[in-house]
Amino acid sequence: MPLLTDDERAHALCDLDGWTEQSSGKAIRRVFRCADFAQAFAFMTRIAPEAEKANHHPDWSNSWNRVDIRLTTHSVGGVTEKDVALAKVIDALARQLALPPSGD
């Protein structure tokens, strides 16, 4: 899977709500704020099978109502279409759970 070019990454970020470029283009990141810990955990639980199905797993952390997600394709050392596709799935799940539209 090829890395996205700078232009491809910039274009992809325009279509992703609240995602930002991290580590000089080597990752994309978004922080989600939930109503409480239960909603944050439920959100992560909804993401996990989708990530497994895509065989693409996020670097993420959770602290009470906050879920911090970082996506990169480790095997090639940067952002690929796999990251963009998973970000879109995560955004759709966030909308289903009525999470706020913006990140951190």
The per-residue pLDDT for range 58-93, each reduced to its tens digit, is 999 999 999 999 999 999 999 999 999 999 999 999
**101 within a domain of the structure (yes/no):** no
Residue 34 φ then ψ, to 5° = -110, 175
CATH of the domain at 32: 3.30.1360.20
Domain that includes residue 81, residue range: 6-96
Res 20: pLDDT: 96
CA distance 21 to 30: 9
pTM of the model: 0.94
**1 within a domain of the structure (yes/no):** no
The count of domains in the chain is 1
**103 within a domain of the structure (yes/no):** no
DSSP class of residue 36 equals: S
CA distance 76 to 22: 16
Residue 15 φ then ψ, to 5° = -90, 0
